[in-house]
Amino acid sequence: MVTAAQLPAWLKEIYPFTPKAFETGAGALSYLDEGPRSDEAVLMVHGNPTWSFFYRNVVLALSGRMRCIVPDHLGCGLSDKPQDYDYTLGNHIKNLTVLIESLGLKKVHLIVHDWGGPIGLGTMLPLGDRLGRVVILNTAAFADTVIPARILFCRIPVIGEIAVRGFNAFAWPATWMAVTKPLPPPVKAGFLFPYNSWANRIATHRFVRDIPKNTGQPNDIALAKIELALPQLRTKAVRILWGGEDFCFNRHYFDRWNKLLPDAKADYLDEAGHYLLEDAQEFCIREISAHLMAK
C-alpha cells in the first residue's frame, strides 16, 4: 500500500488526505475516512480505471459536515496490488462489506460510479435499512449486451492484456476519452499515478476481462443477484446524475435506470463525459450535497 508519506508533493496538493489501511487478508486496502466521527457516513465507490482520487472534490465539499468513507479497491489506487488474487466482483463486494462492518456504521449513504455501481450496491442492498440516500453516476448494476468495441478489444486474450498492462491502454486513454474538457496536467497525472507499471495495472485489466457476459461465470451470477435486489432502491431517495458524452455508459443505460427508478430525480448532462465529476464539477457537487443533506 502507498502511504501518505510516499505521495509526491504535487499530488498532496490536490489530494490532501491521509489514507488509512484495512487488511483484507489478501493485501492492504487503502481508504479515506474524512470528516466528523459518526456512525453515519457517505460511502463513495469508484470504478475502473479510477480510484478514490475521482471523488477528491466531493470529499472536500462534504467532509466538513459528513463522515466520508472512500476506499480504493484491492488492486486499485493506493491499495496493495497482489498478483495472485482473484479479482472478481464477489471478492470486491466481500472486501467492501468487511470494511463497512469494521467501521461500525449504522447508516450509509452511497455514491457509485462505473464498477462502483455493482460493488457498492452489492455491498449495501443486503444491509436493508442501513442504506440511506443513493447517488448514481454513469454505471450499471444489471446485465446488458451493449459493450463498446474499444472495450471489447481490451478483452481479447493476450493482446488485450498486453495493451492494458503493457501500454496502459485503458487508464491513459480514459484521461482524454472520458472527459469533454481537457484535464489539467496534475489532475491527469493524479488519475494515472497508481497505474505506472505492468504489475500495478493488474486490476485495471481484470475489471475489463471480467465484465459480465451472461455465460454463467462467477461475475454473471454475482451481478444477477444484485439486479434482483435493485427494486429495493424504489424505497430509497435516489439521485441520478449522468454524463451524456459517455461512450460506454451511454443513454441506453441512463434510460434503463429511469425505467427501473421512475421516481428518482435524474439529470442528463449533455456536455459531460464519463468523468462527470471533472466535466460538471460544480453542478454535480451542488446536487450531491443537496441530496445527501436533505431531511
* pLDDT digits 0-9 by tens, 208-222: 988 887 777 888 899
What is the span of the domain harbouring residue 179?
4-293
The rounded Cα 164 to chain-centroid distance in angstroms is 19
Is 211 strand, coil or helix? Answer: coil
- Categorize the per-residue pLDDT at 137 as very low, low, confident or very high, splitting at 50, 70 and 90: very high
* pLDDT digits 0-9 by tens, 78-135: 999 999 999 999 999 999 999 999 999 999 999 999 999 999 999 999 999 999 999 9
Write down the pLDDT at residue 144.
Answer: 83
> What is the distance between the alpha carbons of residues 74 and 131, in angstroms, rounded to a whole number?
23
- Evaluate if residue 147 carries a pLDDT over 90: no
Q: Is the peptide bond before 49 cis (omega within 30 degrees of 0)?
A: yes
- State the cell numbers at 295: 431531511
Q: What type of residue sits at position 19?
A: P
Domain of residue 69, CATH code: 3.40.50.1820
- pLDDT over 70 percentage in the chain: 99
Write down the pLDDT at residue 211.
Answer: 85
Q: How many domains does the chain have?
A: 1
**Average predicted confidence (pLDDT) for the chain:** 95
Does pTM surpass 0.95?
yes
- Evaluate if residue 153 carries a pLDDT over 80: no
